[in-house]
Amino acid sequence: MSTKTQYLHSQGEFFHSFNRDINREAIFLETRNYKYFIDRMVKNYDLTKIELVAYCLMPNHFHFIVRQVEAFGITEIFKGICSGYVKAINKAHHRSEQLFEGKYKMKPIDSNEYLLHLSRYVHLNPI
């Protein structure tokens, strides 16, 4: 089993999930886009699949720190958030191109020290 597959199967582990625009341009083109992304997050959020620890939405990228409760929980939740958001942005702005670099990234957080460091980073990212 590959390391990535192990991550997808893991339960109770913390992960840093993030993504950015394919051209490092804005993914949130208007203030209402932030709200829509958060609304999608709330709509797709399921405590039986993931626990949200922290997040940050920046003009051209986003960060989430989550604890995966159920195997494949992150994949299921982020697929719903990101695919719906891309469809809405493309429709609203008459686009048909790819928005994100690809599927969101998912990196394991392997220590409490790294979890604390990453939490600080995510919270201070807007500054």
Give the start-to-end residue ranges of the domains of the chain: 3-124
Is a pLDDT exceeding 90 seen at residue 50?
yes
* pLDDT tens, residue by residue, 73-91: 998 888 888 888 999 988 9
| pLDDT higher than 60, residue 3 | no
pLDDT 10s digits, 11-41: 899 999 999 988 888 999 899 999 999 999 9
State the CATH architecture for 3-124.
2-Layer Sandwich (3.30)
Question: How far is residue 79's CA from residue 110's CA, in Å, rounded to a whole number?
Answer: 24
pLDDT of residue 96: 80
What is the three-class DSSP state of 18? Answer: strand
The radius of gyration of the chain from alpha carbons, rounded to an integer in Å, stands at: 15
- Rounded mean pLDDT, 93-101: 84
Q: Provide the mean pLDDT of the chain.
A: 89
Give the dihedral sign, CA 26/27/29/30: negative
**Scanning the structure block, which residue is given the tokens 């958001």?**
85
